[in-house]
Amino acid sequence: MLTLSWPGGPLRGTGRLPASKSEANRALLLQKLAGGGTLTNLSEANDTVLMQRLLTQATTADYLDAEDAGTVMRFMTAYLAATGWRGLLTGAARMKQRPIGVLVEALRALGAVITYEEAEGYPPLRFGGQPVAAPASGPAELMVRGDISSQYISALLMVGPTLPGGLRLRLTGEVGSRPYINMTLSLMEHFGATATLGPGETITVAPGGYRPADYEVESDWSAASYWYALVALAPPGSAATLPGLRARSWQGDHVIQQIMHPLGVETEFLADGGAYLRQVPLAPASLLAQPLDFTDCPDLAQTVAVVAAALGVPLRLMGLHSLRIKETDRIAAVQAELRKFGADMPEVAPGVFEMQATDFKVDNQEINTYDDHRMAMAFAPLAVRGPLRVHEPQVVRKSYPSFWRALAAVGVSVGD
């Protein structure tokens, strides 16, 4: 357990961010399929280290463990199917509770031989060693729901250029997490693939594979959200510099800059790269006109919810459906932990949650993290409002292993 506290005064300093694991894990897979290229500024996140390791091990091993990494499980499932791997892909206990049936059924439709080792529709997965056998005369046709995890869609798109006739993917219903799909398409194009958007939410990926390319991974906007929270909640006059962020980003979570401006943080992009965050007066009226929709940026929801609660802003949130099947049920987890501070986030209409805080106070509460890195980091910024303790602080290794060191570097007291 870690004890966090703030000595007082404005927060000032530089927040050292990890590289984007969303970009890194996509780039690693595309680099492998392209057969070359140099990647720089790879994420230190465990998910990225794990992705690198499994891509290397897949050439010789018949047993791979994706641990608790959703992107690794989904991306590796498509990669292993496309390359005709034979063996077992498993994961942590929680991973075995996260559905993967939609992706498996799509790959089976392309000719892959994949069976469920335990529960139907869930990992572990056994691969029969037969590569996908899509038709060569034209693109393989798949229809996939758009409201599922975008990781399924990205996984299918990335193996599309390796199919003899390419891939035509039609998304049905409401499409969630669209920025992650756009990121995938942009990186595919960077590595030489051609994908076109057609009518009716149809994406056509041309055959021909990839070509080697170099790529520098951007710093992680999801990780930056915790620094926005720190600046918003810290004493007046607080500011922070975040290196490595781009004004024109492929990451959907860059919308944190727009979300947090009414909550008291202004963003200025620096000429030599990076962003400067400065605390400004609250102007929440624009946020209260209608619910804030996190469909395209679900990883920001916990952070924004905690900030709104601490500031006493009765924000309404929607588009949280995917949070139920993350590392934990993030909606239930946030609700449980907020109650410790005098706040709540009830569902006030179908799919709409309202932040309600009557007497929000930080005073040595203990935060349970539920084996979820984002729970730890979303609640940690409350330390600038009062002392608190965080259980299982090591969970941050999944995406931001240096998080506690980064907080200590700007003056947060971090102790056992």
Q: Are 379 and 388 in contact (CB under 8 A)?
A: yes
How far apart are the C-alpha atoms of 238 and 234, rounded to whole Å? 6
Q: How many helices (H) and strands (E) are present in the chain, helices listed first?
A: 13, 23
Q: Are 133 and 165 in contact (CB under 8 A)?
A: no
21 is in an annotated binding site: yes
Single-letter amino acid code for the residue at 134 = A
How far apart are the C-alpha atoms of 394 and 408, rounded to whole Å? 15
361 is in an annotated binding site: no
To the nearest 10°, the Cα dihedral for 355, 258, 15, 46? Answer: 70
- Determine how β-strand 316-318 pairs with β-strand 292-293: parallel
How far apart are the C-alpha atoms of 219 and 250, rounded to whole Å? 11
Instruction: Check 299, 329, 363, 371 and give the catalytic one.
Output: 299
98 is in an annotated binding site: yes
26 is in an annotated binding site: yes
57 is in an annotated binding site: no
DSSP assignment of 12-61 equals -SB-PPPBPHHHHHHHHHHHHHHT---EES---SHHHHHHHHHHHHTTT-
398 is in an annotated binding site: yes
177 is in an annotated binding site: yes
How far apart are the C-alpha atoms of 345 and 388, rounded to whole Å? 20
70 is in an annotated binding site: yes
Give me the residue label for tokens 């929440």. Answer: 284
- Residue 299 annotated in active site: yes
Neighbours of 215 (CB within 10 A): 20
Give me the residue label for tokens 């992009």. Answer: 269
Q: List the structure tokens of 80.
A: 């292993």
151 is in an annotated binding site: yes
| H or E stretch at 355 | none
246 is in an annotated binding site: no
Annotated binding-site residue numbers for phosphoenolpyruvate: 21, 70, 98, 151, 330, 374, 398
Annotated binding-site residue numbers: 21-22, 26, 70, 98, 149-151, 177, 299, 326, 330, 374, 398
Which residues carry out catalysis?
A: 299
Annotated binding-site residue numbers for 3-phosphoshikimate: 21-22, 26, 149-151, 177, 299, 326
